[in-house]
Amino acid sequence: MRSKKRLAVLLSAGLVLFFGMLPVGMALADGLPGMGIGSAGLPGATQPGASLPGASLPGFKPYQTVHLGANLDHSVIEVMAYECPYCMRLETTMLRWSATLPRAIRFDQMPAAIGKRWVPMTQGFYAAAVIDPKAIPRFNAAAFSLVQKQGYAFQDPRTYALAAEEAGIPPSLYREMLGYKGVRDLVYNDEKIMLKTQIVKTPTLIICGRYLINPGDTQGNYSLFFQLANGLVSRCESLDKLKGSSQ
């Protein structure tokens, strides 16, 4: 009974946000070109620092546009996956960059739920995040290590149960949360975003619900990638100001 009351309090405290995004934490990083989810690499990727072909051409846009709604106007979301080595290696750099964002912009992570095999990862992430958002850095570090260093299957629910336990989350509470409607809703909303954006590379940033960028878009030039991200965040802020002044 106490655990059920705790679940209700957690959800009502505002942990379930717009499309289900929740704050996340750190692992380790260094820059490498973005890659497709799973084992599919990025064709034509070059070394970090390479020039960006077409960057000086009129109309060149190293990003995609999407329309996810006004409720994401003040957010930057990193779409990631635990089997993606680039997500693991880039995470600290990404989190450090996120700390430089304007105060009005919230940074979140979102598991890449692109099919049934990715549902256990997505369920595990949201279950851990709803129970204790502060445990997510430990959960991420454990999940990355289990999948990429210790050979655990990314699609196996037991991988994330073990990651949760290593992160200090009580196993009984974690199992109960997996079946909770609030977590199912978060997974469903995650799947809707993935379906609408058609993201197939991780890590990818969704900036203010309008732009998608992946390190592969800048051929692994991470300095340029974060400059591009900063520029798109500034564009979003400018558009919001223009929208506000016209009302």
Close Cβ partners of 156 (under 8 Å, ≥ 6 residues apart): 120
Q: Report pLDDT for 176.
A: 96
Q: Report pLDDT for 15.
A: 39
Stronger pLDDT, 193 or 47, i.e. the higher one: 193
Domains of the chain, first to last: 13-38+62-246 (3.40.30.10)
Close Cβ partners of 161 (under 8 Å, ≥ 6 residues apart): 124, 171, 174, 175
Question: Is residue 111's pLDDT more than 50?
Answer: yes
Closest CA to 139 of 122, 157, 124: 124
Six token digits for residue 202: 């991780």
Q: Report pLDDT for 187.
A: 96
Mean pLDDT value across residues 72-94: 93
Residues in the chain: 247
Six token digits for residue 81: 């996956």
Question: Is residue 35's pLDDT more than 50?
Answer: no
Mean pLDDT value across residues 226-244: 84
Question: Is residue 222's pLDDT more than 70?
Answer: yes
Mean pLDDT value across residues 198-209: 94
Query: Mean pLDDT in the chain?
Result: 80
Residue 36's H or E segment, with its range, is strand 35-36
Stronger pLDDT, 53 or 229, i.e. the higher one: 229
Mean pLDDT value across residues 210-214: 95
Question: Is residue 87's pLDDT more than 50?
Answer: yes
Instruction: Residue 176: count other Cβ atoms within 10 Å of its Cβ.
Output: 17
Residue 201's H or E segment, with its range, is strand 201-202
Six token digits for residue 227: 């400059």
Q: Report pLDDT for 55.
A: 43
Mean pLDDT value across residues 3-27: 41
What is the Cα–Cα distance from 129 to 22, expressed in whole angstroms?
A: 7
Range of 13-22, 35-44, 131-140, 213-222 with top mean pLDDT: 131-140
Stronger pLDDT, 72 or 17, i.e. the higher one: 72
Six token digits for residue 116: 């049934």
Question: Is residue 20's pLDDT more than 70?
Answer: no
Write the pLDDT tens digit of every residue in 141-159. 999 999 999 999 999 999 9
Q: Report pLDDT for 72.
A: 93
What is the Cα–Cα distance from 34 to 32, expressed in whole angstroms?
A: 6
Stronger pLDDT, 38 or 79, i.e. the higher one: 79
Mean pLDDT value across residues 33-62: 43
Mean pLDDT value across residues 173-193: 95
